[in-house]
Amino acid sequence: MSSGTDTQTLEFQAEVQQLLNLMIHSVYSNREVFLRELISNASDAIDKLRFEALKQESLFEDDPELKIRVDFDAEQRTVTITDNGIGMDRDDVVENLGTIAHSGTKRFLEQMTGDQQKDAQLIGQFGVGFYSAFVVADKVEVFSRKAGVEPQYGVHWSSEGKGAYTIETIERSQRGTAVVLHLPQEQEEFCDGMRLRHIIRKYSDHISVPIEMPAQSGSAPQQSEEKGAEQGEEEQEQTPQWEVVNRASALWMRPKSEISDEEYKELYKHVAHDFEEPLTWLHNHVEGRQSYVSLLYIPKRPPFDLFEQKPAHGVKLYVRRVFITEDTEHLLPRYLRFVRGVVDSDDLPLNISREMLQHNPMISSIRSASVKRILDRLERMAKNEPQMYAEFWESFGRVLKEGIAEDHGNREKIAKLLRFSSTYEEKETPDVSLDDYIGRMNEGQNKIYYVTAESFNAARNSPHLEVFRRHGIEVLLLPDPVDEWLVAHLNEYEGKQLVSIAKGELDLDQLTGEQAEQEKAQREEKEQAYKDLCSRLQEKLNDKVSEVRVSHRLTDSPACLVVGEYDFGVGMQRLLQAAGHNFPAGKPALEINPDHQLIKRLDNEAEQRLQDWALTLYEQSLLAEGGQLEDPAAYVKRVNSLLTE
């Protein structure tokens, strides 16, 4: 077969080399998954061919029976996985087996610690597809021919996984791909029919195309890759000694009661390209105005590209068992982009193109029903399986929060699923729902209070919390950058307004009950007493603050900054500016604490020193908000001079 021309030796892309090193030296314990990965690729290749053949039937050539074959040769110590799918040409092979297009790969590799145990776990999480062949093989060969091209444009790829591979053009009559694994002696256990069958049943039973192996009863056909290619498909078709070893039907079409958890989990690993088990799944057979099946999985851990603009994987769309496309934008909204699985429609046209998905009413209705199912499932999980929900929230809470801005129709439902930290227990792990908060609200309280900050500690130590602590009012602590977006879009929940404690004037009178009248009188007195100081400070800070006023929020801090009720918080302003948005930022107000020693002293300060104190108070308050000073050196100098005078 190797009538090789244009033989080239090429180096792997640096990332592939790194991956291969990991594979070869990996302590990855579950070695048998190499077969699952290669069968998974073979099945994808068959799915692609079936889809392309909808438009161009000739791609089937004279070999329309799609199948995967797993063969072995104990003497030669080889295992061969053959498919008659879409195949690859020379460029495809270089592109697919020499480089990695995954956007998340770099990040994955950066996370490698050098600790073999930990790295093996990461590899498991990431999944390395084709390269897992090198977990068991010391040499891998790929023979392929793309569907529809002439036999003389076959391609042979070969590598020992050590930095380089060779590639040559060969004659190959058979369409599709064969991967030949050469096993070292210590891996010869895999050259065993029973063992291979067992692995296929364990991991690949759900694959919907037949997976064939040499029949156990008859003598195994000693049909090496080369022999197969020379003899052509016809003879292969007639070879009687092959038998199907998997169930070869689309798992999602079977009734739920007939599918074991193990089967669900293995299908997940195939469709999600994940080595780990899913957190949970939802399987629905829908009949009615349109019929379709959806099997949607919620993974355990976020994929490496969760925050990339274009995620690599999504939900697989099938029409009457024919794979159409892996969709990342139409079947589910962006805030559910972590969901994986299959939607198989009976009613969509087989020739539906990716472009047509956008405006298709059937797709929209599948989408809204799926969103509802997922949100309902999450709600049930939150209620009945709080441990599992906490795991979900840790992995995908940040993404789900985007839904508040993205999905008006489901805002209440999503809001119910949100989890925050709060001053109730001050746990950094967010586990307080808005319903929990409402359930604990003080008598007379009709607002949900929150504070946003750069970090959990900054939120928890915010000076704005002081008055709330004094009155025992719970405040939600929101340290995540997306929280600013979230609260900008979630004005109320269950009729209760969400209010930032760092914005606008506070009105807690209703809440503080009997003390209110008394406090109010005291406040007015203090406002009067500090009126003069306020206006003197304001004069000094005219270009920085809109107003200087007596605070009702503070007990321990001398001052704080308060933005207008409808302005972005200080943190959000910084985010927007960093993202290049120019917007007229309203000036904050500076509130001073009339009971603080520092403020009490200021009244008697001379003009120049008051100027320095005014600036220092302003800058301290900015720092306490996590802000940055325009001129830190001047601040340090000023503070030092105030300290030493």
Q: Which of 32, 83, 212, 591 binds ligand ATP (CB under 6 A)?
A: 83
Binding test (CB under 6 A) with ligand ATP, winner from 104, 127, 569, 588: 127
What's the closest the beta carbon of residue 296 comes to ligand ATP, in angstroms? 19
Least distance from ligand ATP to the Cβ atom of residue 131, Å = 6
Residue 307 CA to residue 320 CA, distance in Å, equals 32
Site for ligand ATP in 264-283 (CB under 6 A): 273
Q: Which stretch binds ligand ATP (CB under 6 A): 129-137, 231-239, 337-345, 532-540?
A: 129-137
Smallest gap from residue 48 Cβ to ligand ATP (A): 7
**Residue 42 makes contact with ligand ATP by CB under 6 A:** yes
What is the total residue count of the chain?
645
Helical ranges in 173-316 per DSSP H = 193-204, 225-238, 261-272
Which range touches ligand ATP (CB under 6 A), out of 57-65, 125-133, 390-398, 489-497?
125-133
Q: Which residues contact 304 (CB under 8 A, 6 or more apart)?
A: 102, 104, 105, 107, 108, 126
168/7 Cα distance (integer angstroms): 4
The window from 122-130, 191-199, 463-471, 472-480 that contacts ligand ATP (CB under 6 A) reads 122-130
According to the binding rule CB under 6 A, does residue 129 interact with ligand ATP?
yes
Of 130, 252, 338, 493, the one binding ligand ATP by CB under 6 A: 130
Q: Are 492 and 554 in contact (CB under 8 A)?
A: no
Q: How far apart are CA 635 and CA 633, in angstroms?
A: 5
Nearer to ligand ATP, 210 or 479 (CB): 210
Burial of 622 (0-12, 13-18, 19+ CB in 10 A): buried
d(CA 377, CA 280): 9
Cβ at position 241, least distance to ligand ATP in Å: 23
Report whether 128 belongs to an annotated binding site.
yes
Q: Site for ligand ATP (CB under 6 A): which residue of 26, 36, 41, 537?
A: 41
* Inter-residue contact 549 to 534 (CB < 8 Å): yes
Residues in contact with ligand ATP, counted by CB under 6 A, come to a total of 16
Is the separation of the CB atoms in 174 and 232 below 8 Å?
yes
Q: Does 311 bind ligand ATP (CB under 6 A)?
A: no
- Please give the C-alpha separations between residue 363 and each of 216, 371, 619, in angstroms, as whole numbers: 45, 12, 54
Establish whether 126 is an annotated binding residue.
Answer: yes
Question: 66: Cβ–Cβ under 8 A, 6 or more apart, which residues?
Answer: 46, 49, 50, 84, 85, 209
Among 70, 128, 199, 537, binds ligand ATP (CB under 6 A): 128
Q: Which residue is associated with the tokens 């900015």?
A: 622
Residue 588 near residue 546, CB atoms below 8 Å: yes
Binding segment (CB under 6 A) for ligand ATP, from list 82-90, 418-426, 471-479, 481-489: 82-90
- Pattern 216-255, ligand ATP, x by CB under 6 A: ----------------------------------------
Nearest to 127 by CA among 258, 14, 28, 17: 28
Residue 177 engages ligand ATP in binding (rule: CB under 6 A) = yes
Asked if 99 touches ligand ATP (CB under 6 A), the answer is no
Q: Can you give the binding site for ligand ATP, defined by CB under 6 A?
A: 41-42, 45, 83, 85-88, 96, 127-131, 177, 273
